[in-house]
Amino acid sequence: MASDAPTTTEYIKHHLQNLTFGQHTDGSWGIAHGAAEAKAMGFWAIHLDTMFWSVLLGALFLWGFRKAALRATAQTPSGFLNFVEWIVEFVDENVRGSFSHKNDLVAPLALTLFVWVLLMNTMDLVPVDWIPQIAHLMGIEYMKVVPTTDPNATFGMALGVFVLTLFYSIKIKGVGGFAAELTMQPFQANNPILKILFVPANFFLEFVSLVSKPVSLSLRLFGNLFAGEMIFILIALLFSGGAMLAVAGGVLQWAWAVFHILIVLLQAFIFMTLTIVYLEMAHSHH
């Protein structure tokens, strides 16, 4: 913790601070000791905790699904293998229902995003003080364990989806076809002069719509998980207010955790579904 007896403000700020590595104002490189130092490091600073937990959970996903694939047989699956098969079938049904074209990348991408985001979201159900306290005992000052509460992580995934959307839009329709999508709708006319006059307005509207996709995709996930984490932190403050407040905090924490399970699942599903829809739009000729 920041001190032996932090104030409410210090407690909240501590739990919302990432473990940041970057260049200090004096030119040296190292860990930021506080929000002010982290801000001064600028754009190229790295949130080590976000990187660590996202990579660890991604590796856990790969290890678990590879283990299930190696154990797969023609017999009726059971246990963990049955659970993995259920997830694969669930994602495959969603891809088949939303994606009408042929692309072998879409289903594996959807599966990866769904499970990866779900694992990162699930870290929000770990009591907010457990892992930061363990990190503190190891000499690590800050530790945020939910990567999706960091906009850098959600924007990174959303930008990856956005790049794929642009790539397939140009690959499937060609540069001319993609340019026509951005300039020839929604306002249309048979008159050549009016067509030319509509181009700037069409481009503005379509460009805003295009750019809004990664922004909304990332901010939706970040906003919901950050709000959930903030509520857990506020509930945790009750445990330091006496026996009655501690009991109330325990009840509220349990109730919010149960409700938050829905948010954890729903946000992973929404991120996957929107990715499939965006790729479907990239493959479709308007």
Residue 80 near residue 68 (C-beta atoms within 8 A)? yes
> Are 198 and 118 spatial neighbours (Cβ–Cβ below 8 Å)?
no
* Alpha-carbon gap, residue 221 to 157, rounded angstroms: 11
Cα distances (Å, whole numbers) of residue 225 to 47, 79, 229, 235, 237: 17, 30, 6, 15, 19
Is 191 annotated as catalytic? Answer: no
Q: Which residue of the set 98, 103, 152, 220 is catalytic?
A: 220
DSSP H helical ranges for the chain: 8-16, 35-40, 48-71, 79-98, 106-122, 130-137, 151-183, 192-236, 243-283
Rg (CA), the chain: 23
Catalytic-role residue among 212, 216, 240, 284: 216
71 in catalytic set:
no
Residues annotated as catalytic (active site), given as ranges: 216, 220, 224
